[in-house]
Amino acid sequence: MAASVDSLSALLAKAHLDDHEEVLKAANSALAKSKSDLDAQHVRVIALLKLDRFDDALRQLNQTGDKLKQRAAFEYAYALYKTGKLAEAESVADSAVSTARGPSRGAQHVLAQATYRAENFERAVTVYEQLAARVQDADADYEHNDLRINSAAVDAQLEWQGKGQLAKKKKPVREDMEAFETAYNAACGSIARGELGQGEVLLKRARDLCNASEDMTEEEKRAEIMPILVQQLYVLSRQGRAEEAEKLSQELSIPDIPDMSTRHIAEVNEMAASTESSNPYLSTRRVRFNSNLPKTDQPFGFQSAILNHNNYVMEMTSHKHKGVATSTLTKLRNDPHASVSPATNSLSVLNAAAHTKGQVGKVGLREILPLVNKRPDDVGLILTAVQLYLLENNHSAAITLLESFLMRLENSATPSDHDVRFAPGLVGTLTALYAKEGRRSSIRAEFAKAAEHWRRKTDATPPAGLLKAAGAALLESSKPVDLELAGEIFSDLLQRDEGDRAAAAGLVAAYATTHPEKVTPAQTDALTPLARLIGDVDAAELEAAGVAVAPHVQQQTGAKRAAPKEQPAKPKKVRQSRLPKDMDPSKKIDPERWLPMKDRSYYKPKGRKGKARQAGLTQGGVVEDEGAKKQAAGQVVGASGGGGKNKKKKGKK
């Protein structure tokens, strides 16, 4: 054994550090003499890994036995990782980190990469934090830079996964602008949060830094710039800038992209950005042909969901509705329980679209409602039916359907159904429907139940956005119970993040009238000072503009409210169709032209009879009784001439 080790060491001493083929030949020569030579086996595995022959290295480890696996745990974990066996790589690397006697940063790096590629980003955050602490002690600048780049990539993936609250860095800092890798990761994080404008700026910065780099060849620069261009194309498409996206796609050389998954995404995005109409059958065939990616180069989960969604949409444009309905239903049956997974709910929407053949309204509801009865726990299907009701302006039916679905989840015996019941998206949908109907008390009750559910859970991080919305809704109530609950919610948020100014403001607002003693000076100091809020307000100008002044202030200062200035009434426009054909636009239109002449305000009758008739039609004046007038006239005549009542009428004889 000693002779074998000496001979191998002599051979390795003669070999160059970068001459991995010579090292492999030396190890093979040693193994030809003694197959059980553990040192030669270990050297051979390292040489194969250096030559990117990962399958051969893994085969060597599996054929040799457990001794070599225990000795070369780091190499074993790395071989598993590079061959796409992520779960096994994570297990082996984790075991190597926990059982290592000396420094095990190599195994820890493999563990971080395996958890990242397996999309276990929460674990990856913890591993990278541990590595960063060890690297600071080791004072390895190059490794520290790599860890900063990889940590930024984990933060971006958490944003894409909908777990942005776990990201260590939410906004780019100055050091992110120093290298194109960190600028690119910061851009991805901004895009995942929906900040497309900032993402576009950071992508341009990453591209400029890459072109200006002196450490890479022109070929390496082109390879690094291609993913940046793909992301820029995506941003332009999201912003609706189709012409700019199509122009940028001409700069993109898809065959030059080394990463297979990125190449496939670039081809799909190029097809989506094209403004020219294409044959849906040829497009479907083209996407399907390029979707056979190697096992070690698969897109991430959120990317795969979008790509699958695109494939199904293109198949429906090719009138393959029945095939899409069958295929999506097969995948949905693998997860029969209620789920908030975007990929699962996207399949539900596609399944509904395939059954309705893209029709909406009452026709679509006729097809979807029977599916709801068959799959009552399908979140995506329920939300699709709710959306169709809203398109029909039937808010009551939408609320009833969603309430009955949420009630079933709330009464379910499965604990995971309760988390789905109070998922932020579903709670937000129901409260938005309540707001449309003006049901403020229902909104507060729904938010209160959701907040209580998440505050009781100890095995999960409560969604901060939902708790803030619940606290804000409860602050609108005048009930002490609601204000007390709002204060408790904001107190919990402050315990998790002491720098949360929104939570501090909510806590002060909740306890200001009920428990002012619970408000600390630190919380009030976190609020924006009053002087800053009213610094640009001119009180005299407001009073001059007609601001209402309290009565006691009027008595003390003599201030009065300025009378509003009368604004000249704007002339009312009359439709051209209602004007006469011989209308002269220079003349003023008579506003009383629709009234009879005798009822107009400017009417003046002519003659004695007309004036008498007009006097009798006076509204609001004193009207003489005709009978009394005649009686008065008779009395006067009788007094002067006597006996007029029995006087005979004259007539012709």
Contact between 444 and 483 (Cβ < 8 Å): no
The span from the CA of 496 to the CA of 394, in Å, is 41
Alpha-carbon distances of 24 from 3, 12, 45, 375, rounded to whole Å: 19, 10, 9, 59
Q: Which two tokens stand for residue 260?
A: 């297979």
* Residue 393 confidence (pLDDT) above 80: yes
Separation of alpha carbons 412 and 414, rounded Å: 5
pLDDT (tens digit per residue) in 125-161: 988 888 888 766 545 666 778 888 889 899 999 888 8
- Which residue has 């307000």 as its token pair? 537
Question: 3-class DSSP state for residue 293?
Answer: coil
Rounded mean pLDDT, 247-274? 79
Residues 329, 351 contacting (CB under 8 angstroms): yes
As given in the structure block, the two tokens for residue 441 are 């008390």
Beta strands in 21-117 (DSSP E): none
Residue (of 241, 242, 271, 238) closest to 254 by Cα position: 271
* Nearby residues of 275 by Cβ (< 8 Å), 6 or more positions away: 242, 243, 246
- The CA distance from 38 to 64, in Å, is 9
Q: Kindly report which listed range (206-210, 418-422, 599-603, 604-608) carries the lowest average pLDDT score.
A: 604-608
For residue 396, the one-letter residue type is S
- The pLDDT, as a whole number, for residue 643 is 42
Task: Judge contact between 184 and 203, C-beta under 8 A.
Answer: yes
Both tokens of 31, joined, read: 């193994």
pLDDT of 572 above 70: no
In whole angstroms, give the CA distance from residue 256 to residue 84: 24
Helix (H) or strand (E) holding 188: helix 180-192
Give the residue-averaged pLDDT of 333-359.
Answer: 88
pLDDT tops 90 at residue 281: no
Task: Please give the pLDDT value at position 277.
Answer: 66
- The tens digit of pLDDT for each residue in 501-559 reads 888 888 888 888 888 888 888 778 777 787 888 888 888 888 888 766 666 555 555 55
Helix axes 20-33, 38-50, angle to 10 degrees: 150
Report residue 394 CA to chain centroid gap.
Answer: 25
Distance CA 473, CA 467 (A): 10
Which pLDDT belongs to residue 639?
Answer: 40
Residue 200 near residue 156, CB atoms below 8 Å: no
Cα distances (angstroms) measured from residue 352 to each of 332, 357, 391: 12, 8, 16
Q: How far apart are the first and last CA of the chain?
A: 174
Closest CA to 131 of 117, 114, 148: 148
Of 343, 397, 394, nearest to 372 by C-alpha is: 397
Radius of gyration of the chain (CA): 41
167's CB contacts (< 8 A; 6+ apart) are: 154, 155, 158, 159, 189
Both tokens assigned to 218: 């022109």
How far is it, in rounded angstroms, from Cα 258 to Cα 243? Answer: 27
Between helix 121-138 and helix 105-117 the angle, nearest 10°, is: 150
Question: How much is the pLDDT for 290?
Answer: 59
**CA 450, CA 422: separation in Å to the nearest integer?**
5
**In this structure, is the dihedral angle defined by the CA atoms of residues 10, 12, 17 and 23, taken in order, positive or negative?**
positive
List, in sequence order, the alpha helices (H) in 476-606: 480-496, 501-511, 521-525, 530-533, 539-544, 551-557
Poorest-pLDDT segment among 208-217, 313-322, 629-638: 629-638
Query: How many angstroms separate the Cα of 388 from the Cα of each of 132, 176, 353, 392?
Result: 51, 45, 11, 6
Threshold 0.85, pTM exceeds = no
Count, residues in the chain: 653
Helix 218-238 and helix 242-249: axis angle, to 10°?
Answer: 160
Tell whether the model's pLDDT for residue 1 goes beyond 80: no
Contact 181, 199 (CB under 8 A): no
How far apart are alpha carbons 596 and 93 in whole angstroms?
Answer: 100
Nearest by Cα to 302 from 160, 199, 185, 191: 160
42 within 8 A of 68, measured Cβ to Cβ: yes
State mean pLDDT over 246-256: 80
What tokens were used for 246? Answer: 């199509």
Region 333-339 average pLDDT: 83
Position 150: which residue type? N
Q: Provide mean pLDDT across the span 300-314.
A: 85
Residue whose token pair is 């209620």:
338
pLDDT at residue 448 in the model: 92
What pLDDT does residue 592 have?
Answer: 83
- Rounded CA gap, 547 and 553, in Å? 12
d(CA 229, CA 221): 12
pLDDT at residue 20 in the model: 81
